[in-house]
């Protein structure tokens, strides 16, 4: 079976973990600091704060920008649940708006309609590794007291008009969960250019203590600290992130060339001014195709290729998140029924790539 995910752990990662264990500095030591520095460099952001997951990074970022109970935060319903759950963790309400039918990212025109006096922030997800339309979104909130949070869990090293993901909005959150383009098993990172957000994030993720004074508690806080053990894996991977990205993009180009003329099968739409990092390579199986989406998934499985539906349900369908009605989100409804992601990890072999192309081209 050609799996969607196969983590990339080389001797280098093993040595890095071993080195940390030998030093005895296991939590928020020099390796966590080095990883933070690496992220300021990669994204050209002023500040970075490591956390123990992408979800805790989002919760921390929402706190740092001042989201509090009763506020509304606009986001996309076509994303992983953590995006929306992090809003509930603050006591605010997620407000879902529909997506763009080509990129599957949040549609700026719909955000515009959802903004009201209670709107405190917007979480914009760069879905599957492709940055959203940040120029349009940043204009929408100009002169309003609304913060834009970039959910960059899937978009490390992506670019939007020459700027790196992680530096496209007021504050950004990364995830190093085992399936992400850069991973350490679990882990996360916040990047920002805003000093006040940086200081608030630093205290929130460490029991509400300021960086300068331990045991002086400014507010409620959590234990969202990163360990040096896992930071050492992420730091090792950070040195390879350009190679990982190029590899994913090369595989995507090969797939695009092979699949672009297949009737009813839609390849991912990638925009010219963006660098898409293909966290997922997601096909759309439209009614014109010879198989239904689910039958196509079975066909791939029978031929030894794993695929997955990201995501099978829009988030407003779940009772704890329910806000709008199904009719309000026709694009999300349609894409959840037609999407299918196939393997695109950097460690696919040339033979595996050719085989996947063959199986799909000859379906």
Ligand X SMILES: *Cc1c(COP(=O)(O)O)cnc(C)c1O
* Chain contacts with ligand X (rule: CB under 6 A): 53-55, 79-80, 82-83, 125, 151, 153-154, 175, 177, 188
Minimum Å distance from CB 125 to ligand X? Answer: 5
Minimum Å distance from CB 266 to ligand X? Answer: 22
Nearer to ligand X, 258 or 309 (CB): 309
Give the residue at shortest CB distance from ligand X: 54
Minimum Å distance from CB 287 to ligand X? Answer: 28
Instruction: Report the alpha-carbon angle 316-321-324, nearest 5.
Output: 45
Peptide bond preceding 311 in cis form (omega within 30 of 0): yes
Nearer to ligand X, 188 or 268 (CB): 188
Q: What six digits make up the tokens of 201? A: 């994030």
Nearer to ligand X, 79 or 275 (CB): 79
Please tell me the distance from the alpha carbon of residue 321 to that of residue 73, in angstroms, as a whole number. 12
Nearer to ligand X, 32 or 79 (CB): 79
Task: Select from 354, 160, 172 the least CA-distant residue to 272.
Answer: 160
Minimum Å distance from CB 268 to ligand X? Answer: 16
The answer for residues whose C-beta is within 8 angstroms of residue 17's C-beta and 6 or more apart is 229, 232, 233
Nearer to ligand X, 50 or 125 (CB): 125
Minimum Å distance from CB 79 to ligand X? Answer: 5
Beta bridge mates, 172: 150, 191
- Only one residue has tokens 């198989």, namely 291
Please tell me the distance from the alpha carbon of residue 174 to that of residue 39, in angstroms, as a whole number. 10
Beta bridge mates, 266: 284
Please tell me the distance from the alpha carbon of residue 251 to that of residue 362, in angstroms, as a whole number. 18
């Amino acid at each position: 079976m050609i799996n969607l995910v196969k983590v990339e752990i080389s001797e280098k990662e093993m040595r890095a973990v071993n080195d940390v264990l030998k030093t005895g500095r296991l939590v928020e030591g020099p390796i966590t600091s080095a990883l933070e520095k690496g992220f300021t460099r990669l994204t050209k952001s002023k500040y970075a704060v490591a956390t123990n997951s992408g979800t805790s990074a989002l919760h921390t970022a929402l706190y740092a920008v001042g989201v509090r109970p009763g506020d509304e935060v606009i986001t996309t319903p076509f994303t992983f649940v953590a995006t929306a759950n992090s809003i509930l963790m603050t006591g605010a309400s997620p407000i879902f708006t529909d997506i763009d039918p080509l990129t599957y990212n949040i549609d700026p025109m719909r955000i515009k309609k959802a903004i009201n006096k209670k709107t405190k922030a917007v979480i914009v997800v760069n879905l599957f590794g492709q940055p959203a339309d940040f120029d349009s979104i940043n204009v929408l909130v100009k002169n309003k007291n609304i913060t834009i949070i970039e959910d960059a869990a899937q978009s490390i090293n992506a670019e939007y008009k020459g700027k790196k993901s992680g530096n496209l909005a007021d504050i950004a959150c990364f995830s190093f969960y085992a399936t992400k383009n850069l991973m350490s098993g679990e882990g996360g990172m916040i990047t920002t250019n805003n000093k006040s957000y940086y200081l608030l994030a630093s205290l929130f993720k460490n029991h509400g203590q300021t960086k300068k004074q331990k045991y002086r508690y400014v507010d409620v806080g959590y234990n969202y600290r990163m360990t040096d053990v896992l930071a050492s894996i992420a730091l090792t991977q950070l040195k390879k992130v350009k190679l990982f990205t190029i590899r994913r993009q090369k595989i995507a180009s090969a797939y695009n060339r092979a699949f672009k003329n297949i009737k009813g099968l839609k390849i991912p739409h990638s925009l010219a001014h963006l660098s898409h990092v293909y966290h997922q390579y997601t096909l759309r199986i439209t009614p014109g195709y010879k198989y239904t989406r689910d039958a196509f998934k079975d066909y791939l499985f029978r031929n030894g290729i794993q695929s997955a539906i990201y995501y099978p349900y829009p988030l407003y369908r779940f009772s704890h998140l329910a806000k709008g009605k199904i009719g309000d989100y026709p694009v999300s409804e349609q894409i959840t029924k037609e999407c299918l992601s196939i393997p695109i990890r950097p460690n696919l072999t040339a033979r595996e790539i050719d085989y996947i192309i063959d199986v799909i081209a000859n379906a």
